[in-house]
Amino acid sequence: MKKNFGRRGRWALFVSTIALSAMLVIAPQATKVQAQGTLKVGMTLADIPVSFGQPDQGFEGFRFMGLMLYDALINWDMSQGDKPSGLIPGLAESWSVDPSDKTKWTFNLRKNVKFHDGSTFNADAVIFNFDKLLDKNSPQFSARQGSLVNFRIPSIKSYKKIDDYTVEFTTHKPDSFVPYQLCYILMASPTQWEKTGKDWNIFAKTPSGTGPWKLETLVPREKAEFVPFKGHWDATRVPKLDKVITIPIPDPNARTAALLSGQVDWIEAPAPDAIPRIKSKGFKIVANAYPHVWSWHLSRVEGSPWNDIRVRKAANLAVDREGIKALLGGYAVPASGHVTPQDPWYGSPSFKIKYDPEAAKSLLKEAGFSKANPVKIKAMISASGSGQMLPLPMNEYIQQNLAEVGIKVDFEVTEWNALIDLWRAGAKSPQAKGSHVINVSYTTQDPYSSFTRFLRSDLHAPKGVNWGFYNDPKMDDLLNAASAAFDPAERDAVLAKVHAREVDDAAFLWVVHDVAPRAMAQKVKGYVQAKNWFQSLTSAYIE
Amino acid sequence: MIAYIVRRVLYVIPIALGVSVIIFGLVHIAPGDPLNAVVPPDAPKETVELLIKAYGFDKPLPVQYLIWLGKALEGDFGISYATGRTVSDAIAGGVVNTLILAVGGILIGTIMGCSIGALAGYFQGSWIDKLATGFAIAGVSVPHYWLGLVLVIIFSVELSVLPAMGMGPGGSTSWVWDVEHFKHLILPVITLSVIPIGIITRSVRATIAEILTMEFIQTLEAKGLKKGRVFIHVAMNAAPTVLAVSGLQIGYLLGGSILVETVFSWPGTGFLLNDAIFRRDIPLLQGVILVLAMFFVVLNLLVDIAQSLIDPRMNRS
């Protein structure tokens, strides 16, 4: 009897569970209550970036952790979206290079700046943070943080405190790109590090910087909650929102569903084919060109068909960039070089990159190729990856365009991380298996990342990421002249020459620039999308 | 019986060691540099070399394996290369969250599978049987990923009655027994339960149909037992099969929910594994796979023991 009663009890429990589930499904959802001024962001990342100072997970890590909690000596201007985002004073009010010894830089620090924990920012804090990255004997040395950012400061040889608010940096050789390097070094609080047992992993739970946001909660892989730092030194950057919650949603369909169902207010990188649906549901898409280029990096090793400039130019003329833009739902800018024509580094290249298949055919004919006797190219591409947009359909589109003029392309499709290894190894490495192209999209945010690392001959892979073994002594001279030009206008003029020469040489096959579409609810106001990989949420608010 | 249990437990040791060797080997022969989890793509060679030494990748693979195994036996799976957080903590949190899904999925799967399967078995050849068989085939054939998206579109996007992702309101956190968290559970659990429903339905149908043809059923009926009492005998005879199939399904659900967890951003082991794979986070990858594999081994052990206890005819000695 007892046994039978138990069985009935279990049955009753089952029936009640099913009934409850049905009620929950059928019943209309309670009014979606949302705290006023709370912005929920669906990131493309699968995990919350590390919070101990230098973030991981690339520039999205900087965007949604690093630059929220911390400032650098020099910041990016993210206050407007009309012109390219440049460098502006951050924790340093000003900086200058010694006219008599251009390896010495003096940085005058901002006074009355407080960390989130209330301690004061000064020259000791700067030295502490550089020791953390570069001095293996310092107690705060963090190999992990160093590995994330030291490659961005190759010029820094040494640094020292002059007084409480002055720091001097010495570089290995004169290099005007130093400000573009130091803008990646974020200042964490030495006092908080002491308070958290001198352990960066514990510090990460209650981090303290001088940035506009304070970390309130961090649950790995689930969410991070940020609240405004009311004591931020720049009153214009004190956040208007009450709170920002960042949630990792790596799957684009899940991100879209989360936005459409009201679980988040903002998503990064909606899938292009979902954009019409997102718009039809009353959400807005915000986009703006930023320093990004989607290109084919060409191999110039011996035997590569790209060694003939006519073939390189023909490829650049054969690609229908407007078609690719349409493929991307209109969210791309056709490329006519490594940077956009609005960029001060664009210059005046004489080779005009456009869609002209007839001109491409003529060039190939001149070089001895045709549709019947095509140039044979092997290209390494990925199926996904950071900044890669839609690599498979885009590459297939290009393959079709090139085939129409007499360039036959075979793909070697590789997983993204494996492709990065192949990129590091270089076109001459055995792993490249004689490939003539690698498709990795690039940032063009600073001169080194835009040009030097791909074009200077002393940075051939694996020493650097000049993957294709580009080698042009005149280009080397120009790049060296750019890094030796300390007047910004003069430096930009030299970089414009670099770019013009690169385009005239058709050094890459340039395709499009991304415009970083973001989808958000209509109630999100005040956000300005800067022409930058980094963005600021301080001006955003919920109406 | 005790000797059998002891022997079965002892078998687990070589199985676990074999599994650990396979996991370690597979993770290390996969393409892609493990340091991609730690350093940005254009980090200089010197930095990469420094880290190769720091993380012990310069040691021979067998040595790396023994170091890892030694620590794993103490419950220390190391530190995630990507995040610097303890792998054991990450796995512990993930396993609990995945168990919530898997248990929900298997409960629905077993109850629905047994009910539909029993009906189909009893009414073999009838329209009920055809309907149930069709349902079972659809269940095992439908891709998780697709079904999850369809459910999200219907119930979250169009009807706005259930949340699309996460484990709880306001960005998911750990599990809490309240209505809001329960609502977050419904869609992933339904998605996850479809395959077990299909598999269990088919197994139960076949088993019941076979049992119904056995002579002892005719004997029971000839003795005048009511249909309900006969059913109890049928169910008791079908129980070991159901148990074995359900046990294996829990194992599959624990390890196989990677797509469902990704679609619903459910912070379980599948989500963890997905992240670890894409970031080449070797300690996390090895730790999660080992724990999931051990779950499978232990579940098999428990099912074997439970089967012996339920069905005395099974001579395990």
- Per domain, the residue ranges of chain B are 87-310
Query: Looking at chain A, which residue has its C-alpha nearest residue B183?
Result: A24
For residue A462, list chain B residues with Cβ-Cβ distance below 8 A: 45
Dihedral sign computed on CA atoms, order B201, B206, B212, B214: negative
What value does the mean pLDDT take over residues A55-75? Answer: 93
The number of beta carbons lying within 10 Å of the beta carbon of residue A133 is 22
pLDDT higher than 60, residue B150 = yes
Which chain A residue is nearest to residue B265, measuring alpha carbons? A249
- Asked if the Cβ–Cβ distance from B33 to A50 is below 8 Å, we say no
Spatial CB neighbours of A337, under 8 Å, sequence gap ≥ 6: A346, A349, A353, A499, A502, A503, A510
Which CATH architecture does the domain made up of B87-310 adopt? Orthogonal Bundle (1.10)
| pLDDT one-digit tens code per residue, A186-220 | 999 999 999 999 999 899 999 999 999 999 999 88
Out of A482-486, B8-12, B234-238, B253-257, the most confident range is A482-486
Q: Tell me which chain B residues have a C-beta less than 8 angstroms from the C-beta of A146.
A: 47
Q: Using 50, 70 and 90 to split pLDDT, how confident is the model at A169?
A: very high
Shortest CA distance to B100 belongs to which of B265, B306, B253? B253
| Of the listed ranges A316-320, A457-461, A497-501, the one predicted with least confidence | A457-461
**CA–CA separation, A377 vs A306, rounded Å?**
9
pLDDT of residue A3: 39
With beta carbons under 8 A apart, name residues in chain B contacting A461: none
Cβ-Cβ contacts under 8 Å, B279 against chain A = 46, 417
Of the pLDDT bands very low, low, confident and very high (cuts 50, 70, 90), residue A32 is very low
Q: Which of these ranges, A4-8, A535-539, B256-260, B307-311, has the smallest mean pLDDT?
A: A4-8
Residue A122: the pLDDT is 97
Helix locations, A484-543, DSSP H: 488-504
User: Measured between beta carbons, which residues in chain A are less than 8 angstroms from residue B265?
Assistant: 247-251, 254, 258
A152 or A376: whose pLDDT is higher? A376
CB contact under 8 A, A261 and B262: no
Taking the CA of residue A538 as centre, how many other CA atoms within 13 Å lie in the half-sphere pointing to its CB?
Answer: 24
pLDDT tens sequence across A288-344: 989 999 999 999 999 999 999 999 999 999 999 999 999 998 999 999 999 999 999
Residues of B in contact with A58 (CB under 8 A): 40
- The predicted model gives B56-85 an average pLDDT of 85
- Considering chain A, what is the average pLDDT of its residues? 90
Least confident of A293-302, B11-20, B38-47, B86-95: B38-47
pLDDT of residue A476: 97
A89 CA: distance to closest CA in chain B (Å): 26
Q: Does B47 sit within 8 Å of A151, measured CB to CB? A: yes
Q: Collect all residues of chain B within an 8 Å Cβ-Cβ radius of residue A56.
A: 82-83
Mean pLDDT of A409-433: 88
Structure tokens at B104: 């929900």
Phi, psi of A149 (to 5 degrees): -140, -15
* Best residue of A196, A219, A251, A278 to probe chain B, by most B CBs closer than 10 Å: A251
The verdict on a CB contact (< 8 Å) between A25 and B161 is yes
Tokens describing residue A397? 């589109």
Residues A144, A141: Cα–Cα separation, whole Å: 9
CA closest to A225 among chain B residues: B171
How high is the pLDDT of residue A22? 44
Output the pLDDT for position A21. Answer: 46
Amino acid A418: pLDDT: 79
The encoded tokens of residue A483 equal: 């890094």
Provide the pLDDT confidence category of residue B245 given band limits of 50, 70 and 90: confident
pLDDT class for A47, splitting at 50, 70, 90?
A: confident
Phi, psi (deg, nearest 5) at residue A524: -80, 120
What is the pLDDT at residue B29? 80
Q: Note whether A483 and A172 are within 8 A (CB).
A: no
- CB pairs < 8 Å spanning A and B: 173
Please tell me which residue, B296 or A206, carries the higher pLDDT value. Answer: A206
pLDDT of residue A53: 95
Quote the pLDDT of residue B280. 79
Is a pLDDT exceeding 50 seen at residue A8? no
Residue A7 has pLDDT above 50, yes or no: no
pLDDT tops 90 at residue B299:
no
Range of lowest pLDDT (A83-87, A414-418, B208-212): A414-418
pLDDT of amino acid B170: 65
**Cβ contact, residue pair B83, A262, below 8 Å:** no
Q: Over range B51-77, report the average pLDDT.
A: 85
In chain A, the residue whose alpha carbon lies closest to the alpha carbon of B264 is A254
Nearest C-alpha neighbor of A180 from the set A75, A47, A312, A43? A75
For the residues A449-458, what does the mean pLDDT come to? 94
A25 pLDDT band, cuts 50/70/90, is very low
A354: which 2 tokens?
């456009």
Residue A491 token pair: 């430096």
Residue A100 CB: number of other CB atoms within 10 A? 6
Tell me which residue in A50, A423, A464 faces B83 most closely, judged by beta carbons: A50
- Range B12-29 average pLDDT: 87
For B172, nearest residue in chain A (alpha carbons) = A222
Q: Which residues of A touch B51 (CB under 8 A)?
A: 143, 147
Rounded to an integer, what distance in angstroms lies between the CA atom of residue A246 and that of residue A243?
Answer: 10
The per-residue pLDDT for range A242-299, each reduced to its tens digit, is 999 999 888 888 899 899 988 899 999 898 888 998 999 999 999 998 999 999 999 9
Read off φ and ψ for residue A298, nearest 5 degrees: -95, 140
CA atoms within 13 A on the CB side of B196: 34
pLDDT at B173 over 70: no
pLDDT reported for residue A506: 98
Residue B171 has pLDDT above 70, yes or no: no
Q: Please tell me the predicted confidence (pLDDT) of residue A464.
A: 82
Q: How high is the pLDDT of residue B36?
A: 66
pTM: 0.82
Average pLDDT on A485-499 reads 95
The beta-carbon neighbor of B157 closest among A143, A261, A464 is A261
Q: Do A52 and B84 touch (CB under 8 A)?
A: yes
The 8 Å CB, 24+ separation contacts for A76-81 are A76/A183, A76/A530, A76/A532, A76/A534, A77/A530, A78/A528, A78/A530, A78/A532, A78/A534, A78/A535, A78/A536, A79/A236, A79/A528, A79/A530, A79/A536, A79/A539, A80/A528, A80/A530, A81/A288, A81/A528, A81/A529, A81/A530, A81/A531
Number of alpha carbons in the 13 Å side-chain half-sphere of residue A147 = 26
For the residues A502-521, what does the mean pLDDT come to?
96
Q: How far is B155 from chain A (nearest CA, A)?
A: 8
Question: How long a stretch of residues is chain A?
Answer: 543
User: What residue of A is the nearest CA neighbor of B82?
Assistant: A56
pLDDT tens digits, one per residue of B31-60: 667 776 667 766 767 777 777 777 788 888
B265/A247 CB distance under 8 A: yes
Residue B316 banded pLDDT, cuts 50, 70, 90: low
Question: What's the mean pLDDT in A167-193?
Answer: 96
Token digits of residue B3? 């000797």
How high is the pLDDT of residue A541?
Answer: 95
The torsion region of residue A440 among left (phi > 0), alpha (psi -120 to 50) and beta comes to beta
Mean pLDDT, range A112-138, rounded to an integer: 96
Q: At residue B281, does pLDDT exceed 90?
A: no
| Bond preceding residue A462 cis, omega within 30 of 0 | yes
Give the nearest chain A residue to B258 (CA atoms): A251
Contact B156 A247 (CB under 8 A): no
Predicted local distance difference test score (pLDDT) of residue B95? 87
Give contacts of B31 with chain A, Cβ < 8 Å.
414-415, 417-418, 421
Question: Given a cut of 60, is residue A237 above it in pLDDT?
Answer: yes
For the ranges A6-20, A74-88, A302-316, B253-267, which has the lowest average pLDDT?
A: A6-20
Least confident of A524-538, B122-136, B163-177: B163-177
Q: 3-class DSSP state for residue B132?
A: helix
Q: Do A221 and B156 touch (CB under 8 A)?
A: no
Task: Dump pLDDT digits (tens) for A343-370.
Answer: 999 999 999 999 999 999 999 999 999 9
| Contact across the interface for A251 and B164, Cβ inside 8 Å | no
Query: To the nearest whole angstrom, how far is the Cα of A48 from the nearest Cα of chain B?
Result: 9
- Cβ contact, residue pair B90, A221, below 8 Å: yes
A26 vs B contacts (CB less than 8 Å):
161
From chain B, the residues in CB contact with A262 under 8 A are 160
| Contact predicate B264/A254, CB 8 Å | yes
Give me the residue from B83, B264, B278 closest to A254, CB to CB.
Answer: B264
Q: How far is B175 from chain A (nearest CA, A)?
A: 12
A60 chain-B contacts, CB cut-off 8 A: none
Quote the minimal CA–CA distance from B315 to chain A in Å: 27
Task: Test A143 with B264 for CB contact under 8 angstroms.
Answer: no
A459 → chain B, closest CA residue: B44
Q: Are strands A292-298 and A375-382 parallel, antiparallel or unpaired?
A: unpaired
Phi, psi of A370, rounded to the nearest 5 degrees: -160, 180
Q: Name chain A contacts of B150, Cβ cutoff 8 Å.
A: none
CA distance A193 to A207: 8
Q: State whether residue A243 is helix, strand or coil.
A: strand
pLDDT at A35 over 60: no
Q: Return the percentage of chain B with pLDDT > 70, whole number.
A: 92
CA distance A151 to chain B (A): 5
Contacts with A151 from chain B: Cβ below 8 Å: 39-40, 42-44, 47
Q: How far is the C-alpha of B269 from the C-alpha of A522, rounded, in Å?
A: 35
